[in-house]
Amino acid sequence: MTNYADKLVGKKIAVIGGSSGIGFGAASLLLAAGANITIISSSQSNIDSAISRLGGAGPNLQGLVGDVRDEAAFTQLLVSIAPLDHLVFSSVDRIIRGALADADLEEAKFLFGVKFWGSFVVGKALAKHDIVKPGGSLTLTSGAAALRPKKGASIGSALNSGVIASTAALADELTEKRIRVNTVVPGLVKTELWDKLGHSKEKQDEIFESGAKKLPVGFVATPDDIAEAYLYLVRADYSNGTTIVIDGGGSI
Domain count, the chain: 1
Q: Is the Cβ–Cβ distance between 159 and 153 less than 8 Å?
A: no
53 Cβ partners below 8 Å, 6+ apart? 24
User: How far apart (Å, rounded) are the C-alpha atoms in residues 144 and 163?
Assistant: 11
The range of the structural domain enclosing residue 132 comes to: 4-193+224-245
Q: Is the Cβ–Cβ distance between 85 and 136 less than 8 Å?
A: yes
Q: Does 26 map to a domain?
A: yes
DSSP state at residue 6: G
CATH code (residue 153): 3.40.50.720
The whole-number pLDDT of residue 148 equals 84
The whole-number pLDDT of residue 54 equals 96
pTM reported for the whole predicted model? 0.93
Q: Does 76 map to a domain?
A: yes
Q: What is the pLDDT along the chain (252 residues), one digit of tens a residue?
A: 556 778 999 999 999 999 999 999 999 999 999 999 999 999 999 999 999 999 999 999 999 999 999 999 999 999 999 999 999 999 877 677 778 888 888 888 887 888 999 999 999 999 999 999 999 999 999 988 888 888 878 888 889 999 999 999 999 999 999 999 999 999 999 987 777 767 788 888 898 899 999 999 999 999 999 999 999 999 999 999 999 999 999 988
The whole-number pLDDT of residue 131 equals 98
User: How far apart (Å, rounded) are the C-alpha atoms in residues 43 and 66?
Assistant: 8
DSSP state at residue 94: -
The whole-number pLDDT of residue 125 equals 98
User: How far apart (Å, rounded) are the C-alpha atoms in residues 226 and 230?
Assistant: 7
Q: Does 218 map to a domain?
A: no
Q: Does 208 map to a domain?
A: no
Q: Would you state the torsion angle of the CA atoms of residues 200, 161, 233, 209, taken in this order, to the nearest 10 degrees? A: 30
Q: Does 185 map to a domain?
A: yes
Q: Does 210 map to a domain?
A: no
Q: Is the Cβ–Cβ distance between 32 and 8 less than 8 Å?
A: no
Q: Does 65 map to a domain?
A: yes
Q: Does 189 map to a domain?
A: yes
The residues that bridge with 182 in the sheet, in sequence order, are 139
